[in-house]
Amino acid sequence: MKSKYTGGCKCGNITYVVNGEVQWKVSCHCNWCQTTSGAAFRTFVLFNESDLEISGDTFKSYEDRKTEHGRPMINQFCSRCGTQLGIKVPSMDTRHIALGTLDQRKEIAVKDNIWWQESFDFVSFPNNSDVYKTGYWNGTGERILKS
Ligand SMILES: [Zn+2]
Ligand SMILES: [Zn+2]
């Protein structure tokens, strides 16, 4: 039986159901995530696009084609309450759902971290974390700390 996750934005305008397994979980400490969220880092749970069912309003999208790290990114949020629901990376067939929008968020442990080199000095990493100096997916990810 497939796992089922649910979630949505703060105002309830957008809800989603995920009928499938988590593909990856990661906190991203890059400059782009800091700016687009206004926070120190963003934590995402990746699901296959085909497992995601969105109800209510659609995700409002802002496509950034000229990102610092050369990878187009689409920031996705609720147009009514501004909740950051996640991002879509056009070259990937998964969707990055923002951890904080999942109803099951407290049950999901995240130990991978990317873009350590752009992280804030006040952010510390638990001993069992995996921390990568830059991105992970492009094959250049250099692991700097490991459990
Ligand atoms: Zn909303
Ligand atoms: Zn990032």
- Confirm whether pTM is higher than 0.85: yes
Query: CA-to-CA distance for 64 and 22, rounded, in angstroms?
Result: 26
Q: How many domains does the chain have?
A: 1
**Residue 37 above 90 pLDDT?**
yes
Q: Distance, CA 1 to ligand 2 centroid (Å)? A: 32
Q: Distance, CA 9 to ligand 2 centroid (Å)? A: 20
Q: Region 23-37: what's the mean pLDDT?
A: 96
pLDDT band at 30 (very low <50, low <70, confident <90, very high): very high
Find the CATH number of the domain harbouring 10.
2.170.150.70
Q: What is the pLDDT of residues 61-87, one digit of tens each?
A: 999 998 888 889 999 999 999 999 999
Q: Distance, CA 53 to ligand 1 centroid (Å)? A: 16
Question: Residue 54 sits in which domain range?
Answer: 4-145
Q: Distance, CA 123 to ligand 2 centroid (Å)? A: 15
Q: Distance, CA 97 to ligand 1 centroid (Å)? A: 15
Q: Distance, CA 76 to ligand 1 centroid (Å)? A: 11
**What stretches of the chain adopt beta strand conformation (E)?**
4-8, 14-19, 24-28, 42-48, 52-56, 60-64, 73-77, 84-88, 94-98, 112-114, 130-132, 143-145
Q: Distance, CA 3 to ligand 2 centroid (Å)? A: 26
